[in-house]
Structure 1
Amino acid sequence: MKFAAFSGVFAAHSMQEAMLLTKQLGFDGIEIAARGNHITPDTSPERITEIKQLAQTLQLDIPALAGYMGGFSTASDKECAIAIDEFKRLLDIASELGASMIRVQPGGPNAFMAQDYHYTKAAYWLNLCGVEARAKGIQIVLEIHNESLVETVPSALKLLSMIEQDNIGLIHDAGNMYITDTDYGRESVLQLGKHLAHVHVKDEKRVAELGAPGTFRSLTHRGNEAFLQSRLGEGEADHQPLFDALREIGYSGWLTLECHAPFPAVERLAYDLHVVKNMLA
């Protein structure tokens, strides 16, 4: 397996600083958050060339661009068309940077509240994205994420079953799935099967209330719950069954670490990388 840092962890740093720090920490690559001061669909060709050249100099892969466009299930047709245009621009950037995956967001609401028409609409627009991505040899990845249509393995597979294009896969994210209160261990990996395209790693913990640094609120089937972003092993999302299952199936793809716990970015990424390597050993 190969390890990438999520550039969103370095949101306070420039793209160049994020890449240098990622290399110094010993990661194999960097997954770039496609918003903020790192990359956006409107980033200039000159800027993309700079990033590409630095990645080559550092021998740092860019496996994925984490897009934030989409939200197709609840957006208007006009908004969906705008999102498709943004996706096309990001697709060109991904191709230039050698990224093999682009994350797209299908939209909400939570799977337990969603209706069939939400899935139908998301599938229609994602299928169009798939056609565009196929021409570039790039895979679209949907992140299993709380407060979305694809917040569980069954709901994610339901959406994929409605899409004609087969270059659309899923990102397993145990932290998100812990929040949703759905299985994120061995069975989730086996159920995803060939649709498992990528893995995100972060830890979370249910808490009684907001207020402490790193706390946030999310809607789940239990109601509006409070959570604390944690370093790996300090929260409640046990990743060991996941890692064991990945080894069992011979997964050789990327693990992107995206810890947002209330510690300095370098410290939390170094900590999580050390823990992950020990757990995989």
Structure 2
Amino acid sequence: MKFAVFSGVLIDYSIQEAMRLTKQLGADGIEIAGREPHLSPSTSRQRVKEMKAVADSLGLAIPVIASYVGGFSTASDKECGQALEDFRRMLDHAAELGASKLRVSPGGPNAFLAQDYHFAKAAYWMDRCAAEAKAQQIDIIMEIHNESLVETADSSQRLLGMLKQDNVGMIHDAGNMYITDTDYGRDSVYKLGEHLCHVHVKDELRIDKAGAPGTFVNLTHRGEEYFLQSRMGEGGADHQPLFDALLETNYQGWITLECHAPFPAYERLEHDFQVVKRLLGRS
């Protein structure tokens, strides 16, 4: 397993500084957030080349571009067309940066609220994205995320089963799955099987009310709930069963640190990295 930092955690820094801090942390690579000031569909080719040069000079891999394009299931046809154009630009960026995977969102609503047509529309457009990505030998990955069609391992498998293209997989995210209130341990790893292509780690905690720094509101099957973004081991998501299953299945992919807890960015990354290595028996 190799470790990356999600540049969105360092979004207040330039992408060059984010890369330097990632190297300082001791991670193997950086997963670039597909929004400014780091990277977006409108980023120039010259800027993308500069990013690649900086990463290469630091010895950092760029395994994934975490784009924010997609949202097909609830968008109009015109909006889907625009999203596809944005995807094509991000696909070109991914190829230039040497990333083997590009994140795309199928859209919402929550899987338990979704209708058949939401899944059908998402599948149509995800297949179009995947076909174009395959031509550049890039895989499409969807993040298991609360308030989306793919918020559980089961709903992820449902959408994957509707696709014609075979270069689409999932990002396992125990923090998101804790919010959804679905299994994120051993069973989820085995259920996703070969479709588990990437892993995000962060912690969250259910709380009584929002308003303080790091808190937010989400719709779950329980109704509106309140959460606090937390450092690993300080929230409610127990990552040990996940890591045990990754070791058991000989997972050879990447684990990306994605902590947004209300602490200084480098401090929370450093904390989480130590916890992850301990849970994996590396420290």
Q: Is this a same-fold pair by TM over 0.5?
A: yes
1:1-281 mapped onto 2 (5 Å cutoff): 1-281=1-281
User: Counterpart amino acid of 2:268?
Assistant: R
Give the gaps of 5 or more residues in structure 2. none
| Cα deviations by residue, 1:90-124 (Å, 9 ceiling, x for unpaired) | 11110010000000010000000000000000000
TM-score, structure 2 normalization? 0.99
Shift of 1:41: 1.1
Q: Distance in 2 between matches of 1:274 and 1:36?
A: 29
d(CA) in 2 for partners of 1:183, 1:45: 41
Q: Aligned partners of 2:126 and 2:89: how far apart in 1?
A: 16
Secondary structure class of the residue paired with 1:18: helix
- Opposite residue 69 of structure 2, the aligned amino acid is M
- The CA distance in 1 between the partners of 2:60 and 2:24, in whole Å, is 11
Distance in 2, matches of 1:266 and 1:225, equals 28
Q: Which amino acid aligns with 1:250?
A: N
CA distance in structure 2 between the aligned counterparts of 1:194 and 1:179, rounded to whole angstroms: 24
Whole-Å Cα distance in 2 between the matches of residues 84 and 212 of structure 1? 37
- How far is the alpha carbon of 1:85 from its aligned partner? 0.6
Q: Write the distance in 2 (CA, Å) between the matches of 1:20 and 1:224.
A: 39
C-alpha RMSD of the superposition: 0.4
1: CA distance, partners of 2:227 / 2:146: 12
SS in 2 for 1:73: helix
Equivalent position SS for 2:147: coil
Match of 1:69, SS?
Answer: coil
Inter-partner Cα distance in structure 2 for 1:67 and 1:52? 17
Amino acid at match of 2:224: N
Structure 1 Cα separation of the partners of residues 230 and 161 of structure 2: 34
3-state SS of paired residue (2:4)? strand
Aligned-partner SS, 1:84:
helix
Instruction: Point out the more displaced range, 226-235 or 36-45.
Output: 36-45
Q: SS of the counterpart of 1:262?
A: coil
Opposite residue 11 of structure 2, the aligned amino acid is A
Give the secondary structure class of the aligned counterpart of 1:105: coil
Superposed CA deviations along residues 126-154 of structure 1, whole A, max 9, x for unmatched, are: 00001100000000000000000000001
Q: How many residues align?
A: 281
SS in 1 for 2:175: helix
Overall identity of the aligned pairs, in %? 67
How far apart are 1:36 and its partner, in Å?
1.7
Q: Hey, what's the Cα distance between the residues in 1 that align with 2:154 and 2:56?
A: 39
Q: Tell me, what secondary structure is at the counterpart of 1:217?
A: strand
Residue type of the partner of 2:119? Answer: Y
Residue 31 of structure 1: how far off its partner (Å): 0.3
Shift of 1:54: 0.5
Look up the equivalent residue of 1:97 and give its one-letter code: L
Letter aligned with residue 53 of structure 1: A
Looking at structure 2, the residues matched to 207 and 171 of structure 1 have their Cα atoms a distance apart, in angstroms, of: 26
Aligned equivalents of 2:36, 2:262: Cα separation in 1: 20
1:205 aligned counterpart, secondary structure: strand
SS of structure 2 residue aligned to 1:70: coil
